[in-house]
Amino acid sequence: MTSQPFDWSSQRVIVTGGAGFVGSHLVEHLHNLGAGAVIVPRRQQYDLREPAAVVQLYADHPGATMVIHLAATVGGIGINREHPGTFFYDNLMMGALLLEHARRAGIPKFVGIGTICSYPKFTPVPFKEDDLWNGYPEETNAPYGLAKKMLLVQSQAYRAEFGYNAIHLMPTNLYGPGDNFDPRSSHVIPALIRKCFEALETGLDHVVLWGDGTPTREFLYVKDAARAIALAAAYYDAPEPVNIGSGFEISIKDLATLIAEEVGFQGEIRWDTSKPNGQPRRQLDVSRAARAFGFRAQTSFRDGLRETIAWYRAQRVAPTPTPAVGQL
């Protein structure tokens, strides 16, 4: 990592997915860093799975200096199992088209955001980037993980052939304020938080969770993830993928107990072992990010969890605004 400060004021940054969970935090962080312009394409205007839409996006924003590609079709185990083809196609096409046309448009840097779902199912813990090709991903989210993995291959191929500055980051499971709490598509932390709140509100004496609780996961607070992406965008220029995580591992069973405690739910946690566990363990080796661009997570897991729960509690109890006269 260079000791010279990065001049964000000279940057015109396109952030795909910038209105989403991670993207909204990243956009706020880029503004705080003084970015010259932050452009957030909206899905209604640009279908990033279509070549013409991607070409139009770059034509509409000449002078862009960087693309940070966060847009993705994502979700938990259930929706991955229901829509493996959609998850594969959407993510493959968005990544391939955005990177190819960024290169053609002469945009100097492309920051690809991958996933730790790309790792083999039985990767030794902690996951090291060099282990990425030593097996097949966990089956329930393999189509998503492999589609994202192709963006890494494309980035490395373009660097080799064209000298193009494309980098690839692999965040661990993210959480925080603004997360997706829709039970059909949410990840584990928002799903558990919502279940505990609903049990409290309806007087249920138990909640039912998938699997047996033994798998482990690593989680990174979303504001830390935004800071990591910005650091890599500013200072990283190399072909090797980089893990973005906290280095902290917790079992789903312990996670459920902790969330119930923080929410105030004192009922029973039951495990539906007819449902899949997902990958047995996930914890990242985060040393490359520390060496390459100085990233280390700063938010403790309990603090981040409390902020997430506080945000969700406020959303659940927020009063519905009274329409103004004449407002529909």
Which residues are part of the catalytic machinery? 144
Structure tokens at 96: 């391939």
Q: 71-96: string of b/e by CB count within 10 Å (b at 16+)?
A: bbbbbbbbbbbebbeebbebbbbbbb
CB 230 within 8 Å of CB 66: no
Distance of CA 121 to the CA centre of its chain: 19
Contacts of 186 (CB under 8 A, 6+ apart): 75, 76, 179, 180, 194
Taking alpha carbons only, the member of 70, 68, 61, 72 closest to residue 33 is 68
Q: What one-character-per-residue DSSP string does 103-153 give?
A: HHTT-SEEEEE--GGGSBTTPPSSB-GGGTTSSPBPGGGHHHHHHHHHHHH
d(CA 237, CA 233): 8
Give the contacts of 306 (CB within 8 A, at least 6 positions apart).
262
